[in-house]
Every structure is written in structure tokens, then in C-alpha cells.
Amino acid sequence: MSARGRAPRRWAGCAVAAALLAPSAAQACLPPLTETKEPTREEKVRRAYEYSDDIVYGVTGEGLGDSRLTFRVVYVYKGRLKPGDTIVVEKSWGFEEPPCTGMPYPPWPIASGSYGVIGFPHDRPALNWLDSADLEIMFRNGWIVSARKAAQVPAPATPPR
């Protein structure tokens, strides 16, 4: 067979191999290794609360490379930070796993000026965002006090002398 006859077959074989190796929607995420019971929303939020030494509301600032940026604290729900503190945080998938566990890609980009509540351990500040439903669970269980409720609490009375 001539070299001309082999070339189309070679290209056809490459095309088939590429099609088989290309990710599709069904192949994009691998199935979990074991069957596990999905935790309830309340269990996930409790785990996030227990994991977090600090839970703060604030705003993202300037980026410091690919994976870090500044975060200015506006309100503290839990922890030792103070309003006005600026910390350096890592971008993170948060308390939820990435869409495809084990896939090596970074979290979604975060725009400077994004407001929200994050929780993290003291030694690893990260953008572990908490949404309003997460906060409502924490308020309802008395784990943290809402900023509105904290503003309504009267100052403790000083005992008479």
C-alpha cells in the first residue's frame, strides 16, 4: 500500500482517539468512590461553624497574585478580628467541594469589591463564603447573633453603688 493510502487512515485513527478522550458532560465529573449519605444542610453549616475560628462580613480588595487577595472586615460574628482589619485571604472553593472533586482547577475568580460573609480557621484565612441560608441556620441555633439583633441589644446596666 502506498504512503498516500495510509495517511487518511492515520488521520481517521487520530480523530477517533481524540473524540474518545475529549471530555463530555457525562464524563466531566467522576462518580464518587463510595456511596455516602449526603449530609443535611444543617449538618454542613454546623461543620462550617465548628471549623471556623473567625466568621466575618467584609469586602474583597486588591488581588495579590493568582490565589490571594485582601479582605477588609466590616462586622465580626465570631472570632478575634476587629472591624476595619484588613487580612490576606486565599481564594477557595469554600465549605462545599469543587464541582468535580479531584479536578485540578482553581476556584472561580472573585471581583474586587465583592461583599459577603466568610468563615475560616485563624491560621488559614480563606474565602469560604457563607450564604444567607447558612447564616439563618446559625442565627436560629444561636451560634452567632445577627448584626441587626446585636445593634438592638441594650448596653448592660451598670450596677448602682
Cell of 112: 474586587
- List domains and CATH numbers for the chain: 41-145 (2.40.50)
CA distance 149 to 47: 24
Report which secondary-structure segment, H or E, holds 68. strand 68-78
Would you say residue 45 has pLDDT above 70?
A: yes
- Contact yes or no for 113/59 (Cβ under 8 A): yes
Q: What is the pTM of this model?
A: 0.69
pLDDT digits (tens, 9 = 90+) for 56-76: 999 999 887 778 899 999 999
Which triple of cell numbers denotes residue 133? Answer: 441560608
pLDDT in tens, 63-109: 877 788 999 999 999 999 999 999 999 888 777 766 666 666 666 66
